[in-house]
Amino acid sequence: MGLARNAVEVFVTKGLVAVFGLLITVLVARTLGPVGRGAFSAAMAVAAIGVQIGNFGLASSNIYYASSRRDLIKYLVGNSLFIGVGVSAVVGFLAWGTFQYRPDLAPLRGWMLALSLMWVPVGIGMLLMQNLLLGMQQVRMFNLIELLKQVGTLLAIVVAWLIHLDSPEGYFAASLLVLMAMFVWSTVYIVSEDGSRPMVSFSLFRMQARYAAKAYLATIFSYLVLRIDLLMIQYIQGDAQTGLYSVAVAIADVLYLLPVAVGTVLFPRLSALKDESARWVLTARAMRWTALIMAVSALVLMVSVKILLELLFGEAYLPAAPAAMILLPAVALLGVNTLLMNYFASLGMPMFTMVSPGVATAINVPANYFLIPNLGIVGAAWASLASYGIMLLMSLGFVWMLRNGYGKE
């Protein structure tokens, strides 16, 4: 009963977070226009990639060790603050110095670069603390903080707009302040719940590093294949086209909410099952229903995408419609693959979980490099469709191998 209740709470929370995220996207798009929206999105993409790369794999290991060893909470908090946040802050400072010396290497310019580098250590800290909450079975607090972070970001951007700080830098800074507040709250709550002063343990860190290595690489490759296109558009075609593409991505991401919510519930249930046949039966059932719902939803969104773009974002964003119509079936394929990746992870994170997104990234980057100059944002959408489709085909092939006694490590 507790699992079902938590699953419903997670799904509702993710739905509300998506709604408020869409409102944020609409507000930023309408008040900044395509160019400003593009600059804001590019900075967010740089910050998000920095968080994914810079968490050193501690995010996944925090859940594991917090679940299995509650006596390690104080060390997990200490390691998260010192290694995750502290080291990443130093790296960010060094990166800032490097970009001042070699501005041609910088993905952003001026204050947007500084703010995105400031975001990274705070974002890493937030990610690590939220995963500790999940490991401590504090699902309700996890959901509350996730929701308040999104609501707070929306309100902060509204305030920035009202006091005439309506610029990419102003909106980004407002969002960063909310993130800082949520990070502090999460940390204080965990420390108060544990009742012990945080301490650093390098021996525990070595254990965490061994556990997290495969999941870390898989996460990096997966995130790159999902978000590298936005940065490549910004680099090749500039802020205006990035703004259009970011809106197309936002429409498609609504569809991705379902497999993310299902996967959040599915993975721990699969991990608890000892019978591999039962794992696959449960995965296949979830996959069939998710695929059906996503296919129908994708068709509905494809038919209505122009109406949604004009209604939510305005006529200036209608050129994003062709890219959105390609991204919707692409995300449907990605959603099915996401559930299969949860299945593979429940088997002990086989090497395939790194190889598959790695291959997809190796295909996605050159495809974007060739297609974006020729087809613009539509080319980036086609590159995503091809990459996600190849990942799904590889996953289905790996399932066949496992079911026939091959591919087991």
In a domain, 16, yes or no: yes
Which pairs from 299-304 meet CB under 8 Å and 24+ separation?
A: 301/251, 301/254, 301/255, 301/328, 302/328, 302/329
Residue owning tokens 């902060």: 156
Q: Would you call 238 helix, strand, or coil by DSSP?
A: coil
Say what the pLDDT of residue 107 is. 67
Mean pLDDT of the chain: 86
Please state, in angstroms and rounded to a whole number, the distance separating the CA atoms of residues 333 and 32.
Answer: 32
From 148, 179, 200, the end of a domain falls on 200
Tokens for 154, please give them: 């929306």
In a domain, 334, yes or no: yes
Q: Kindly state whether residues 182 and 248 are assigned to the same domain.
A: no
Q: Kindly state whether residues 123 and 6 are assigned to the same domain.
A: yes
SS (H, E, C) 36-102: HHHHHHHHHHHHHHHHHHHCCCHHHHHHHHHHHCHHHHHHHHHHHHHHHHHHHHHHHHHHHHHHHHC
In a domain, 236, yes or no: no
Please list the helix, strand and coil fractions of the chain in percent, rounded to the nearest 5, in that order: 90, 0, 10
From 200, 219, 254, the end of a domain falls on 200
Q: Kindly state whether residues 132 and 247 are assigned to the same domain.
A: no
Please state, in angstroms and rounded to a whole number, the distance separating the CA atoms of residues 227 and 103.
Answer: 23
Q: Which structural domain range is residue 376 located in?
A: 241-409
pLDDT at 365 over 80: yes
Q: Kindly state whether residues 171 and 250 are assigned to the same domain.
A: no
In a domain, 39, yes or no: yes
Q: Kindly state whether residues 126 and 252 are assigned to the same domain.
A: no
Q: What's the average model confidence in pLDDT over 138-146?
A: 88
Condensed to tens digits (0 to 9), the pLDDT of residues 53-73 reads 788 778 777 876 776 677 889
Q: Kindly state whether residues 304 and 171 are assigned to the same domain.
A: no
Q: Kindly state whether residues 327 and 407 are assigned to the same domain.
A: yes
Q: Would you call 351 helix, strand, or coil by DSSP?
A: coil
Q: Where is pLDDT greater, at 264 or 173? A: 173
Contact 20, 275 (CB under 8 A): no
DSSP 195: T
Q: Kindly state whether residues 149 and 289 are assigned to the same domain.
A: no
Contact 188, 54 (CB under 8 A): no
Please state, in angstroms and rounded to a whole number, the distance separating the CA atoms of residues 323 and 334.
Answer: 16
Model confidence band, residue 381 (pLDDT cutoffs 50, 70, 90): very high
Model confidence band, residue 105 (pLDDT cutoffs 50, 70, 90): low
Tokens for 247, please give them: 């809106």
Q: Kindly state whether residues 9 and 155 are assigned to the same domain.
A: yes
In a domain, 186, yes or no: yes
**What is the percentage of the chain residues whose pLDDT exceeds 70?**
94
Please state, in angstroms and rounded to a whole number, the distance separating the CA atoms of residues 30 and 299.
Answer: 26
Which residues, at least 6 apart from 346, have a Cβ–Cβ distance to it below 8 Å? 267, 270, 271, 273, 279
Q: Kindly state whether residues 273 and 397 are assigned to the same domain.
A: yes
Model confidence band, residue 1 (pLDDT cutoffs 50, 70, 90): very low
Say what the pLDDT of residue 106 is. 66
Total number of domains in the chain: 2
In a domain, 226, yes or no: no
Q: Would you call 106 helix, strand, or coil by DSSP?
A: coil
In a domain, 307, yes or no: yes
pLDDT at 328 over 80: yes
In a domain, 232, yes or no: no
- For 9-28, give one letter per residue: b (16+ CB within 10 A) or e: ebbebbeebbebbbbbbbbb
Please state, in angstroms and rounded to a whole number, the distance separating the CA atoms of residues 125 and 145.
Answer: 14
Number of residues written out for the chain:
409
Q: Kindly state whether residues 134 and 15 are assigned to the same domain.
A: yes
Q: Kindly state whether residues 174 and 290 are assigned to the same domain.
A: no
Q: Among 324, 364, 358, which Cα is nearest to 341's?
A: 358
pLDDT at 96 over 50: yes
